[in-house]
Structure 1
Amino acid sequence: MKYSRLLTAIMMLTGVLTACSDQENEQDGANERTALSINAGIGVIPAGTSSATTRATDASWQANDAIGIVMLDAGTNTVTEGKTNYRYITITGNGSFTPDGKEHTAYYPTAGAQVDVLAYYPYTITISAGSLNIPVDVSDQSNLAAIDLMTAEKVTGRSSKAPDVSLMFTHRLCKLVLKVVKDETTSDVTLTGATAILAGTATTGNWNLITEKLSMEREARDLTLPLSADGTIATAIVMPTQAGDGKSITVTTADGKSYTATIAANLALAAGTVNTYTMTLHRNQASITAGITPWTDGTTVPLESLHIEVPADATANGLTTFEMWRNQAQKTDTRIYTFSNNGNSGTGTWTATPKPFYIEEIATTDHFYALHTPADDRKDGLTGLKDLLATGPASLQPSATGSIANSLSLNFKHLMAQLTVTLAPGKDFPTSVSTEGATVILPEMISGYTLDGITLTADDTKKTGYKNITITSGRTAILTVVPQTLSQGTEISVKLTGGNTYKTTLGKAVALSAGSKTSINLTISPTQTAISVSVNPWTDTDAVAQNITIEGIETGSATGSYESADKDLLVLTGTNETIPTEKHTASYIYNKVNNQWNSNAPLYWDSFSQFAAAKAKGGSADAASDNTGNADSNTPCTFRFDALITPAVTPTEARIACGAVKDYLQGSLTATTFGTPLSFRLSHLMAQISVTLKPGIGYTAEDLSQNVTVHLYGLHTLTNEGVETDGTLILSKEAASSPLKMNKAAEANAEGNFTYTALVAPQTIVQGNLVARITLTAQEADRTTPVSLSYDYRAGSNGFVYRAGQNNKLVLTVSKAGVSAVFTLTDWDDSQEATEGDVTVD
C-alpha cells in the first residue's frame, strides 16, 4: 500500500526596521525616516509531489517574485501618508526583499507614530485604493504561482521605536489535485492529450485586505484544469466552494471520448486545504474516492476505519460517548464516538458521527485527543459541575511490519478535582450532642473555568459560595470542584443540628488538583476543633495527614515577674451572661515539660447554650435554654470567664498564720461570644511590700548587716475560702497574733542599703498602728556586750495601704537619733514611684 503525503508550507514574513543604514534612511527635514527591511521564508515540501508548483510548495523563492505591502495608520483603516501599495521584490530569490525603486519604499512615520502592516502575494497594481480589494481570477491555470493568493495577518502598533515586524502568510484559495486512472474496462483508452473540466465553481472574485473575506461571483463557470502531458494528473488553484450539489469533473480524451464524475454533495473545497481526487475511468461511469485534509497532508488510498479501544470499566461507569479530534489545532474537525453494547456479552463497538477517522488519512506524527462530557443528569448536585474526562495526546504505534496499527487505546483522566468532607465526634465529645445531620459551611470557591481542547484553566474571577453541605449517614460528602488551591487561613465551619457552630482555619495551603481526591477530615472535639487534611490521588492511596488545632482555651502570659511553674493550678469558671443559671467550672494543672494546661474534666463549649430562648407570646421567657441550643429566636448568648491561678510554691503554715500569702493571679473576660478562643491577661491579687534599710547617722552598712530583722505587724490573713475565681478576697476578722518576718531580698548595694520583701493580702493598717519593726543587734563602743535596739514604723494620718498588684515600698534611714521613713508605691514591675510622705519614728 502506498501513501502520498503533503506537508504544510508556511510562509513567515519578518519585517525588521533599522535606522542606521544609508540605504534604509531618508532625510526629511530634521527627521530621519526608517524604511522596512523584509525577509521571507518558504517551508520545505517533500519529494514526490506534483511538478505543478505554487509558492506554497516551492522550496525557495524565484528571482523577481514580488509581494505587496500596505501600511495603515494604527487602529484605523486609513492608508498611511496616502500611499496604498508598495512593491517589494527578491532580486536573486534568496528570500531577501527590497523595494522596487524609491517610489515603492515604505517608511515609518516620523515622531514615533505607529502603523499597522498588511501584506499579500502575489503583487498586483490593480488593488483598489479606497476599499483595498485585490482582484482574484483563477480562470487561467497556466501559472499557478500568479494566482496562489496568500495574505498575512495584520501586525499592529509598529513604529521606528518598535521596528520588528513578523508576518505569517495563509493560503486563501484551495488547491485541487486530480489523478486520472483506468480500470479494466478502459485499459485501451489513451490519456495523452486529454483535457479536464471542473464544473460548479466560481472563477473570479475579490479579496478585501481589511475584512479578510473573499467575495465571489454568483455564477459558476467551467474551469479547465491543467492536465499533464500524459493526461494522468492535474494540479489547480480553485475558488473555495461550499459542500452541495452541482460540482463535477469531465475528462475528454484526444479522440473525443468524455467521462464525467459527480463530486459528492458532502464534499467542500475549503480554503487553505489540498484536495486530492482520484477519478477512475469506467465504460459506464466514473467513481470518486476523496480524502480532504489540511494543506499539510493528503491521501487517496482506500479508507479503513480506525478501531477504538476504551477500557471496559470505563464504559461500565458511564463513559459511552466522547468527541475526538486529531492534533490540538484541529479541534473543529471532531468526530462523536458512541458505544453500543452487544447484548449481554459484555462487549460492544464504537461508531462515529459524521464519519470515523480512517487509517489511510492518519499521519505517523498525528496525535489524538478526546473529551467526555457527562449528561446533565450526572452533574454534581451541589456544585453543578460535570466530571469532565479527557485523554491525549494518544498516537498509533507501528506494528512489527512497520505499518500503521489499526487501533487506538484511550485512557481517560479526570479534568476536575474531587473534594471529600468527613465529620466525626472527637474523644470525650459529649454523647448527648449529636453530629448526625450536621452542616459543613465551605469557603467561597472558584466555580468557573475555560476549556481549550482538553486543557482546563480555572477562572478565578468566577467564584461561588456553595450551599452548605449536610452530612448524612456515614458522615461523608463527595464534591466535584474546579482544580484550585485553598489558601492558608481559609475558614471552614461546622454547625450542629443543636445550633452550636465550630470554626477552624487551614494551617497551610491545600491544593485541589485535577484527577486527585482531597479529603478534609473534620473531628469535632470539646473546646477545640481539630482538622486533619490528607491529599491522595483519585485512586485511593495512603493519606498524608496534617493536624491543625484551634484552641478553645488559651491562657495569656501573666504580667510582672510571674512565670508558669510546674503543677500550678488554674481554676476556670464560665458563666452564661444571658442565661446566668448556666455556670461551669474546671480545673487545670500546668505541665512544664509540655508547656500545657491539662485537665481531666476540661471546660467544654458544648456545655453552654449558643442561643437564648425567646419570650413566648403571652408568657414569660424561660430562665434557661436546654443544651441543644434550640430556641425560638436567634439571639446569641454572651459569656463571662474568670481565671484564677494558684502557684504550686506555697509559704509554710507558720508564715501563712502570720499573714504570708501565695502570689495569686486572676483575669476575667466579659461579653465573650460563643466559640471565641479565651486569652486572659492576668493581674496580681496580692500586694508586695519592700523595706529598704539605709545607714544613717551613727551607723554603717556593716552595722546593718549584723543581726538585722524586719517584722510586719497587724496583718489580716486569708481564710480557707479566701480567694474566688472572680478575684474576691475573704480576710480574717482579726489580725494575726504574731508578726510576719520579712525575707532579705538583697545584700547591701553600693550605698550600703539592704532590702527585705514579703507578699501579703491587700489591706490597710490604720493610723498609729505598728506597721514594721526593725531590730538591730550592734556592738556599742562604750559597752562590752552587744545591744539590741528596736526601731518602729507606724502608720501615718492616712493609714498604711497595701495595694493589690503593686510594690509598696518603705525606705527607712536608720540613725541613732531615730528612723527617717520614706514610703513610695510602685507597680509590681517597679516601673513608677509615688512618694507618700516622710515620718520620723522613735
Structure 2
Amino acid sequence: LDEATDPATTTPKTTPEASTPQDITVPLNAAGTQGTAIVLPRETAPGVSYIITLKDGSRFTAQLSDTQELKAGTSNLFRISLNPQNVTITATITDWTEMPETDLNTSSVEITTAADATTDFPAGSHITLWPGESTGDGIPFTLNANGQWDTETPLYWEQYPAATTTFHALYTPETTPAGNRAPDVMAATAPTERFAPVSLAFSHLMAQLNIVLKAGKGMTQTEVETASVVLPQAIATYTLEGITLTPGTDRKDITLTGSAADRHTLLVPQTIDAGTPLLALTIGRKSYSLNATDRNGLFESGKSYTINVTVNQTEINATVSINPWQEGTNSEGDAGMEI
C-alpha cells in the first residue's frame, strides 16, 4: 500500500456484548504497507470489510471471510492484494423518434430490389468504445453469449482518475444490406461516474423512411400493392469519424423493401430539394413519380418518417364548347347591273 495516504479502515458488522459497531481506523507504518489495530473478539459471521483508499481517490474493498473468527488473545495477520477494477458496460438501443405522417398523391415515372437491417444486438456483435474523446481507433468490444461485452484490452478505472469520464461507442452491423440501402449504424454517449457501469443507450445515426401505399382514383389496392418503390438519386455514401457521421456526395437509386402496402428503407441523413423527385413507383408497365416538397424532403438522423402515398391512375378528360362568332372587318363596294 505504498501509494496509500488515507489509512485503511475496517467496519465490523457483528455486535459483541456491550459493544456498538463502528469504523476502526488502522494506523499504517511510514511505508504505508502495514498496520496494526486491537479489536474486540468476534465469532464467525458475515459483515466485516476492509476499505483501502489511495492518494488518487481510488477505493478498494476486501471482504473478511464469513468463517473468520477473531478469538480473544490471538494475533491475526491479513494480507490484502489490490486489484484494479474493470470498467463494465451495458448497452441498450434508443427507439426511433417518430415524425408526423405525410399524405401525398402521385402523378405520372421508375425502380430496383433489396433486404432489411436490424437493430438487435446478437451474440458476436462488435462495438468500438472511446473513453474521453471519440478520436483514434478506439477499443473493440464483442458481445458474448451471456450478454456481456468483452475486450482483449481491458479498461481500468485507475486509468481515468476524473470524477466523471464520457464514453463514446459506435455500432456498425456485420453485414451490409442488399442493394444501395444504408446499414443501421448506431452511436452512444455516456457520461459515467467513476467505478459505475458504463450504460450505453445507442441511437440510430441514419434516418428511417416508411411508405404506405393506398389506392386512389381508378386503381385497386391489389394493383397498388404490386408497386416497386424507389427513392431516385439519393445520397448513398457517408464517412465516420469516431461517432460523427458525415453524408457523402455519391447518389444512387435506393429501392425500398417490404411488401403489400408497407415499404421502408434506411437513409443517409439528407435533404431532398422541393420540386425534385422524391419517389418513383412502377406498377406493371406504368410509372408514377412524386416530387419532394418543403414538408417531406428533410430526413434527419435518428428520426422515422412515414409518407402515405395515394396512387391515382392517369386520366384524359375531354370537354366540349362552342366558340362565339367573331366579328370580321367592315368594307364598302359598288355593284353594277350586268346587261
Give the 3-state SS of the residue equivalent to 1:360 in structure 2.
Answer: helix
Rounded Cα–Cα distance in structure 2 between residues aligned with 1:309 and 1:386: 22
Preserved CA contact (<8 Å) 2:209 2:304: yes
Q: Deviations over 1:805-828 (max 9, x none)?
A: x2x2xxxxxxxxxxxxxxxx2xxx
Q: Is 1:458 equivalent to 2:261 in the alignment?
A: no
More relative contact order, 1 or 2 (CA 8 Å, 6+ apart): 2
Following TM superposition, by how much is the alpha carbon of 1:433 offset from its aligned partner in structure 2, in angstroms?
7.5
**Could you say which residue in structure 1 is the equivalent of 2:324?**
686
Q: Is 1:304 equivalent to 2:85 in the alignment?
A: yes
Following TM superposition, by how much is the alpha carbon of 1:686 offset from its aligned partner in structure 2, in angstroms?
2.3
| One-letter amino acid of the counterpart of residue 269, structure 2 | P
Preserved CA contact (<8 Å) 1:438 1:471: no
Q: How does 1:319-468 map to 2 (within 5 A)?
A: 320-328=125-133, 330-332=135-137, 334-342=138-146, 348-353=147-152, 355-362=153-160, 363-376=162-175, 379-392=176-189, 394-397=190-193, 404-426=194-216, 428-431=217-220, 434-459=223-248, 461-466=249-254, 468=255
Q: How does 1:81-230 map to 2 (within 5 A)?
A: none
Unaligned runs of 5+ in 2: 5-30, 35-81, 96-117
Rounded Cα–Cα distance in structure 1 between residues aligned with 2:2 and 2:173: 41
Q: How does 1:770-809 map to 2 (within 5 A)?
A: 806=326, 808=327
Rounded Cα–Cα distance in structure 1 between residues aligned with 2:3 and 2:247: 43
Rounded Cα–Cα distance in structure 1 between residues aligned with 2:252 and 2:3: 54
Rounded Cα–Cα distance in structure 1 between residues aligned with 2:287 and 2:301: 31
Give the 3-state SS of the residue equivalent to 2:212 in structure 1.
Answer: strand
Distance 1:316 1:496, change over 3 A: closer
Give the 3-state SS of the residue equivalent to 1:434 in structure 2.
Answer: helix
Q: Pick the structure with greater CA Rg.
A: 1
TM-score norm. by structure 1 comes to 0.26
**Could you say which residue in structure 1 is the equivalent of 2:320?**
644
Rounded Cα–Cα distance in structure 2 between residues aligned with 1:839 and 1:3: 133
Distance 1:330 1:495, change over 3 A: closer
Give the 3-state SS of the residue equivalent to 1:488 in structure 2.
Answer: coil
Distance 1:513 1:442, change over 3 A: same
Preserved CA contact (<8 Å) 2:92 2:201: yes
**Could you say which residue in structure 1 is the equivalent of 2:332?**
837
- Counting aligned pairs with the same residue, the percent is 26
Q: How does 1:653-668 map to 2 (within 5 A)?
A: 664=322
**Could you say which residue in structure 2 is the equivalent of 1:488?**
274
Distance 1:321 1:329, change over 3 A: closer
RMSD: 3.4
**Could you say which residue in structure 1 is the equivalent of 2:79?**
none
Distance 1:382 1:304, change over 3 A: same
Structure 1 or 2: more strand by fraction: 1
Rounded Cα–Cα distance in structure 2 between residues aligned with 1:313 and 1:433: 35
TM-score norm. by structure 2 comes to 0.60
Distance 1:520 1:430, change over 3 A: closer
| One-letter amino acid of the counterpart of residue 319, structure 2 | A
**Could you say which residue in structure 2 is the equivalent of 1:232?**
none
Following TM superposition, by how much is the alpha carbon of 1:454 offset from its aligned partner in structure 2, in angstroms?
0.6
Following TM superposition, by how much is the alpha carbon of 1:482 offset from its aligned partner in structure 2, in angstroms?
0.4
Preserved CA contact (<8 Å) 1:413 1:515: yes
Following TM superposition, by how much is the alpha carbon of 1:387 offset from its aligned partner in structure 2, in angstroms?
0.7
Preserved CA contact (<8 Å) 2:92 2:202: no
Following TM superposition, by how much is the alpha carbon of 1:418 offset from its aligned partner in structure 2, in angstroms?
1.1
| One-letter amino acid of the counterpart of residue 375, structure 1 | E
* Number of positions where the alignment pairs a residue of Structure 1 with one of Structure 2: 235
Following TM superposition, by how much is the alpha carbon of 1:451 offset from its aligned partner in structure 2, in angstroms?
0.9
Q: How does 1:743-762 map to 2 (within 5 A)?
A: none
Rounded Cα–Cα distance in structure 2 between residues aligned with 1:518 and 1:432: 22
Distance 1:837 1:508, change over 3 A: farther
Rounded Cα–Cα distance in structure 2 between residues aligned with 1:336 and 1:475: 40
Following TM superposition, by how much is the alpha carbon of 1:839 offset from its aligned partner in structure 2, in angstroms?
7.0
Rounded Cα–Cα distance in structure 1 between residues aligned with 2:92 and 2:304: 21
Aligned partner (choices 277, 283, 286) of residue 500 of structure 1 = 286
Distance 1:396 1:441, change over 3 A: closer
| One-letter amino acid of the counterpart of residue 395, structure 1 | P
